[in-house]
Chain A
Amino acid sequence: NAGVMQNPRHLVRRRGQEARLRCSPMKGHSHVYWYRQLPEEGLKFMVYLQKENIIDESGMPKERFSAEFPKEGPSILRIQQVVRGDSAAYFCASSPRRGPGTEAFFGQGTRLTVV
């Protein structure tokens, strides 16, 4: 998973604050996926973006969550008015293309703790 950079690695927020998670994909990768992992669980898909476009946000809660992948700069996952249930590890993955057999390479994740 070298090359996909996520920051911060750890983020603590009080209930009601905003959390902004950043993901810089591997060089040359224009496809970004965000996943959420609760303790003792597998990763759950949230959103799939290409540069400047949201392709699939079927796994993202309708309220408080948003994602973007601008033409320049990292992809951002934004959680407004965080609640304790948002505490989880959030992983970003990038791939060079879309198509059968695409392999996604993951970052090290951001561990969000809501207190």
Chain B
Amino acid sequence: GQQLNQSPQSMFIQEGEDVSMNCTSSSIFNTWLWYKQDPGEGPVLLIALYKAGELTSNGRLTAQFGITRKDSFLNISASIPSDVGIYFCAGITQGGSEKLVFGKGTKLTVNP
């Protein structure tokens, strides 16, 4: 089945630092989504990408849809303590049931 390889698995950073994480796949996706999940909660959508090459920002977050449609990255600038959580990438293929294929997540810890 389709799989997304998300890296790094975990990150420990100081407040104020920038963060970068990415997802790669052997399959082509037509939509990439980035979610954040806090403990005990459901995933919350951060950014959605619909076109290859697209670069989209949401506040301190920036994400890009890779040209090959097989990868995406998420950057967080000037991290703050509330950025702590697990970040998931997810892809949707065209023509199917629009189900999401998720990566295994990047666990982010921000030290004040």
Rounded to whole angstroms, the CA-CA distance of A109 and B40 in the bound complex is 8
B99 in the interface, Cβ–Cβ < 8 Å? yes
Contact of B42 among A42, A101, A109 (CB under 8 A): A109
Residue contact B50 to A106, C-beta cutoff 8 Å: no
Contact: B94 with A103, CB < 8 Å? Answer: no
Determine if A108 is an interface residue (Cβ-Cβ < 8 Å): yes
CB closest chain-A residue, reference B101: A45
In the complex, residue of chain B having the shortest beta-carbon distance to the beta carbon of A108: B42
- Known contacts being A42-B88, A42-B105, A109-B42, is A104 close to B100, with CB within 8 Å? yes
Measured as residues with beta carbon below 8 angstroms from the partner, the interface class of chain A is 20 to 34
- Give bound CA distance, A61 to B94, whole Å: 24
> Which of chain B's residues have a CB closer than 8 A to the CB of A43?
43, 88, 90, 100, 102
Nearest-neighbor residue (CB-CB) of B103 within chain A: A42
Give bound CA distance, A7 to B43, whole Å: 16
Choose among B4, B35, B92 the residue that contacts A102 (Cβ–Cβ < 8 A): B92
**Most chain B C-beta atoms within 10 Å of own C-beta, residue among A43, A93, A103:** A43
Subset of 6 A-B contacts with CB under 8 Å: A1-B44, A48-B98, A56-B99, A101-B31, A106-B43, A109-B42
Q: Which residues of B contact A (CB under 8 A)?
A: 4, 6, 30-31, 33, 35, 40-45, 48, 50, 88, 90, 92, 94, 96-105
15 A-B pairs besides A41-B105, A42-B6, A109-B42 with CB distance below 8 A are A35-B102, A42-B103, A43-B43, A45-B99, A45-B101, A48-B98, A93-B100, A95-B98, A100-B31, A101-B31, A102-B31, A104-B45, A106-B43, A108-B42, A109-B41
Where the two chains meet, the residues of A that have a C-beta atom closer than 8 Å to any C-beta of B are 1, 4, 6, 33, 35, 40-45, 48, 55-56, 59, 91, 93, 95, 98-109, 111
